[in-house]
Structure 1
Amino acid sequence: MLKSFNALPADPEELRHAAQGLLDLAKSQALKIEKLEHQLAGHRKARFGSKSETADQLALDLHEDRDIGQAAHAQQNDTGPADEKPEKRKHSRAPLPEHLERQSEVLSPGKTCTDCGGSLRPLGEDVTQELEYIPGRFVVREIIRPRMACSCCDAFAQAPLPSRPITRGRAGPGLLAHVLVGKYCDHVPLYRQSEIYAREKVELHRSTLCDWVGRATALLAPLAEHIGKVVRAGPALFADDTPVKLQTGKKTGTAQTARMWSYVRDERPWCGQAPPCAWYQFSVDRKGKHPAAHLKSYKGIVHADGFTGFNGLFGEGLATEQACMVHVRRKFVDVFERTWTCRGLMPLL
C-alpha cells in the first residue's frame, strides 16, 4: 500500500487526471454491471416468470368447465314436473338476428272445445323462438349441352362450356370457397376436411384437396397483387412480421422458422374514406431485403417496431419512420420492474 501511495504523481494536475481516469473507469464498470443485471433480469423473467397468455387461457378453460358443469346440472333439474318453476338463468339472451330465415310451425288446439263442444275463438298467441342449424349439403350440378345438327347442311352446333375455376376439374366455385375458408380462416387442415366430407359419403382425398387449393391460390394471385397496390397507395401503413414454421422436407418432422410479413392500411382512426385492407408476403428468412423489396419506392409513413430489418425503408427520398410507442413502453416497464426487484421492494401499483 505504501508503495502504491509512493507511486502517485506529485504534480496536482497529474493527480487530478489520474483520479478522473479512475472515476471514468468506475462509471464504465457500473454501467456494465447495470447492463448485465438488466439482461439477467430479462432472462429470469423469460424463464421463470408467469406467462400471462397461458394464465389467461387456463382461466378461460376453468371458467368454461365450470359453466359446462352448471349447465349440465341445470339440464338435469329441468326434467322435473312441468308446473314447477325453473331456476332463473343468470346469463342474458340477446335477440335473434332479424336477417335469419323464419320457419313457422303453428300448433293449434283445434276449432272445437273439448269440454262442451263449442267453437273456439282466438285470444292471442305465444311465440317461442328456437335457433336451429341446418348443415350444408353437397349437390351435383349438371351442365347439359345438347349437340345439334342442321337438317339442311349437316352442320353441328353446341353451346360453349361456361367459365369454370379449374379446367376439367370437378370442384365448383362454392366448394372451392368452402375449402379455402375452412383451411385459412377456420384453420381446419385438409386431411380433417377430407374426413368431414367422408361422413357425407363424399370421398375427396387429401391430395385432391391440395391440388384444388394450389390452383385456387394461382387464381387469387391477381387479387392479392391488387390488394398490395391498394395498401401501398395509402399515406401510411403498418408493417410487422410473424414467425411461421416451414417444413424443410429433408427429414420428417424437421422445420425452420420462416416469416409472414403483413402490411396493413387502416385509415379509420382519422376518419379516412379508404376501406381497411391487409397485404401478406412470405419469406423463408427474416432478412431486411424482403421488406425493402415489398415496399420499394414507397414514400409514405411506415409504422413499425425497432427491428433493424426495417431500417432500409427509411432515409432521404424514402419512407418516413413512425416508431411504435408500445415497444418503447416495454423498455420503461423493464427498467421499472428491474429497479424495484434489485432494491428488494414492491411497487405500489
Structure 2
Amino acid sequence: MLDQTLTLPEDPEELRSFTARLLAEVKAQAILIEKLRHQLAGHRAHRFGASSETAEQLQLALETSEIAAAAMTARMKLPDIEEKDKPKRRPIPDHIPRMEVELTPGADVCADCGGRLRRIGEDVTDELEYVPGRFIVNRIVRPRLTCACCEKFVQSPLPSRPIERGRPGPGLLAHVLVSKYADHLPLYRQSQIFDREGLDLDRSTLADWIGKTTALLEPLADAIGRHVLSAEAIFADDTPISMLAPGTGKTQTARLWTYARDERPWGGTAPPAAWYRFSGDRKGQHPRDHLARYRGWMHADGYAGFEDLYRTGAIREVACMAHVRRKFVDIHRSQGSSIAEEAIGRIAQLYAVEKEARGSPPDRRAELRKAHAAPVFDDLEVWLAMQLTTISGKSPLAAAIRYALTRMERLRPYLDNGILELDNNAAERGMRAIALGRKNYLFVGSEAGGKAAAIAYTLIETAKLNAVDSHAWLADTLARIPDYKITKVDDLLPWRWNS
C-alpha cells in the first residue's frame, strides 16, 4: 500500500476503509516488532552455546521492522506507536562539547505599546549534532520576555527541525543515514559505536530516525525520479532483496529496481542520477507503474516483465552486451572452451571502439561505430550462428550462443544512435551498493521499510554520481527542507547544491 503515492479517497466510506487498512498495517508491524523483541530477549537469556548469527539476524529483523513502522507513521502523520515500559531518555553526557546559541526577538521594546521588555526566564533545547569526526551539542537558549507595561509575552520561536520534538540535529541524522546505506553499517552496530562515546542511542531510536527522515526526504527522491524519466535514454535493472512476510516473521523475495540516467559518455549536460523503487515481488506490473509516463530508449536485460513496455512502442529496448559476454566468460572459466574464448575476444573489439568513442558527441560516436563496430558486430552474429551448427544443441555453450543471437538483434540500435550504450552497466553499477548492503542487513522489514531504503539509495547514490559529499549535502538539506516549499524542492537536488 505504501509503495505508491498516497491519495486519500474523497468518499467518506472509502476513507474509513482506507484508514482501517492502514491502521491494521501499522498495528501488524507493531505486533511483529514486539514478537521479535521477545525472541531476541529469549535468545539473550539462553545465549550459552547458541549461534551469534541468530542474534544478529534478530537484531536486523527488528531494525528493519522499526524503520518500516516509523516510515508508515511519519508518511501518514499518524501518532507514534507507543511502546510499553519505554525507558526514559538519558541526558547527553557532559563530556560532549556544548555550543550555545541565544535566540532573542531582536527588539528590546514591545511591538504593541513600546514598553520595555524584561526577561522572566528562558527555555533551553539541546540538539545532539554530528560534524565529521565528533559529536557536539547545540544548546539553543530562548529567553522568555514580557512587557513591563502591557504584560505581552514575547519569545523567539524554536527553529524548525527535521524531527519534531526530537533531539537529533540534521548532521547526526545524515550520519546515521549515510552509515547505513552508503557504509552498510547496521543500526545495532552504530548503536554500539555511539555507546562507546557515552551516548544512549539504541537501535530502535535510530530506526525511528531513519523512517521519519526518509519520509521527509521523499519529495526529493521523487524529483530525482522525474529527472531520470525526462531523459531520451535510461538504464534499468533490478535485484532481489529479502523482506519479512507480513504476520509470519519469515522472509519472502522482494525486489529493488533502479532506473539510471547518465549522459556523460556522449557529452550530455544533464546531471547523472539513479532512481530506486521497491516492490514486494517481481511482477511486470511494477516496472509498468514506474515507467508509465516514460517515452524513450531503455537499456535492460532480457527480463520478460519488460516485454509489455516494448509492445506499445513508447519504450524502445536496447539489450546489454555485458550480459552476453558474461555467459561466455562463465563457460570459458568452467570448460576452457575455445569458442567461448574467441567470442570474448570479438566482443572486446566492440568495447575498444566504445573506449575511443567515449566523451564524443552522438554524431561522432555513430560515425565511429558505423566504420569500426558494425563490421565486427555483423561478423560476430554470422560466426556465432555457424558455431551453433558444430556443437550439441543441449550444451551450455549452445544456450549461451542462442542467448547472444537473440540479444544482439535487440542491441543493434546502438550502432546507429550515439546516445545509446553497448551495455547496461550504468544500471548495474547502481546495484553494487544494494549487493554490499544485502550482506550486512540481509532484508527489509516490510514494503514501507523497502520504500525507505529505496529513498535513501536514490539520494545517496545520486549524490555520489555527481561527486557530491553525501553527508554534507544531506545535513544541509535536512536543515532546510522542513521549511522549504514543495514547489521549489528541485533547488535542493545534489547537482544544484552549493556547499
Q: Does the Cα contact within 8 Å between 2:224 and 2:275 map onto a contact in 1? A: yes
What is the CA-CA distance between 1:320 and the residue it aligns to?
0.9
Closer, same or farther in 2 for the Cα pair 1:217/1:151, shift >3 Å?
A: same
- Residue 228 (structure 1) aligned with residue 222 (structure 2): no
The CA deviation at 1:135 is 7.5
Query: Equivalent residue for 1:323?
Result: 319
1:170 is the counterpart of 2:167: yes
The answer as to 2:226 corresponding to 1:214 is: no
Percent of pairs with identical residues: 58
Matched, 1:298 2:294: yes
Residues 347/163 of structure 1: CA separation in 2 closer, same or farther (3 Å cut): closer
Give 1:298 deviation, angstroms: 1.1
| Equivalent pairs, count | 213
| 1:161 Cα deviation from its structure 2 partner | 1.1
Instruction: Tell me the residue number matched to 2:201.
Output: 204
Per-residue displacement from partner, 1:313-348 (whole Å, max 9, x unpaired)?
Answer: 21344111111122234456678899986x9x9979
Structure 1 residues 302 and 162: alpha-carbon distance in aligned structure 2, compared to 1, 3 A threshold: same
The alpha carbon displacement at 1:265 in A equals: 0.2
Alignment counterpart, residue 278 of structure 1, candidates 259, 262, 274: 274
Q: Residues 147 and 339 from structure 1, CA distance in 2 versus in 1: closer, same or farther, beyond 3 angstroms?
A: closer
* Cα distance change, pair 284–347 in 1 and its aligned pair in 2 (3 A): closer
Paired AA for residue 262 in structure 1: T
> Residue 269 of structure 1: CA displacement?
0.5
Q: TM-score, normalised on structure 1? A: 0.56
RMSD over aligned Cα atoms = 2.8
Q: How do 1:35-54 and structure 2 match up within 5 A?
A: none
> Which of the two has higher C-alpha Rg?
1
Structure 2 unaligned blocks of 5 or more: 1-130, 346-499
Of 251, 255, 260, the residue aligned with 2:256 is 260
Q: Hey, what does 1:49 align to over in structure 2?
A: none
How many angstroms apart in 2 are the aligned matches of 1:219 and 1:285? 26
Deviations 1:89-111 (A, max 9, x none): xxxxxxxxxxxxxxxxxxxxxxx
> Quick one: distance in 2 between partners of 1:153 and 1:347?
91
The verdict on how the C-alpha distance between 1:346 and 1:300 changes in structure 2, with shifts beyond 3 A counting, is closer
Deviation for aligned residue 1:266: 0.3
Q: Does 1:150 align with 2:153?
A: no
Alignment partner of 1:312 is 2:273: no
CA contact (8 A) 1:259 1:285 kept: yes
> In structure 1, which of residues 189, 192, 208 is the aligned counterpart of residue 189 of structure 2?
192
Q: Secondary structure of 2:311's match?
A: coil
Q: In 1, distance between residues paired with 2:216 and 2:233?
A: 29
Aligned CA distance change for structure 1 residues 288 and 141 (closer, same or farther; 3 Å): same
Aligned residue for 2:238? Answer: 241
- Structure 1: distance between partners of 2:198 and 2:296: 54
1:252-299 superposed Cα distances (whole Å, 9 cap, x missing partner): 5x3211100000000000000011100000011111110111011211
Task: Flag the 1:308–1:196 CA change in 2: closer, same or farther, 3 A.
Answer: same
Deviation at 1:186, TM superposition (A): 0.5
Counterparts of 2:325 and 2:200, CA distance in 1: 54
- Determine if contact 2:257/2:278 at 8 Å carries over to the other structure: yes
Q: What residue identity is the alignment partner of 2:165?
A: R
- Of the structure 1 ranges 313-322 and 325-334, higher mean CA displacement relative to structure 2 is found in 325-334
- Of Structure 1 and Structure 2, the greater helix share is in 2
How many angstroms does 1:211 deviate by? 0.7
Q: Aligned equivalents of 1:337 and 1:148: distance in 2? A: 78
| Kept in 2: contact 1:297–1:318 (CA 8 A) | no
C-alpha separation in 1, matches of 2:267 and 2:174? 32
SS in 1 for 2:165: coil
* Corresponding letter in the other structure for 1:328: V
- Paired with 1:305 and 1:292, the residues of 2 have a C-alpha distance of 16
Distance in 1 (alpha carbons) for counterparts of 2:144 and 2:271: 48
TM-score, scaled relative to structure 2: 0.40
User: Secondary structure, in 3 states, of the residue corresponding to 1:164?
Assistant: coil
CA-to-partner distance for each residue in 1:160-182, whole Å, 9 max, x for gaps?
11111001001110100000011
The alpha-carbon distance between structure 1 residues 346 and 305, as it changes in their structure 2 partners (threshold 3 A), is: closer
CA 198–337 in structure 1, closer or farther in 2 if over 3 Å, else same: closer
Q: Distance in 1 between matches of 2:335 and 2:203?
A: 56
SS in 2 for 1:306: coil
1:246–1:258 CA contact under 8 A, matched in 2: yes
Amino acid at match of 1:187: H
Paired position in structure 1 for 2:474: none
User: How does 1:91-170 map onto structure 2 within 5 Å?
Assistant: 136-170=133-167
Which position in structure 2 is the counterpart of 1:56? none
- Superposed CA offset, 1:222-275 (max 9, x none): 0110000000001100000011111226555x3211100000000000000011
Contact 1:300–1:320 (CA under 8 A) maintained in structure 2: yes
Shift in CA distance, 287/143, structure 1 to aligned 2, threshold 3 Å: same
* Amino acid in the other structure paired with 1:259: R
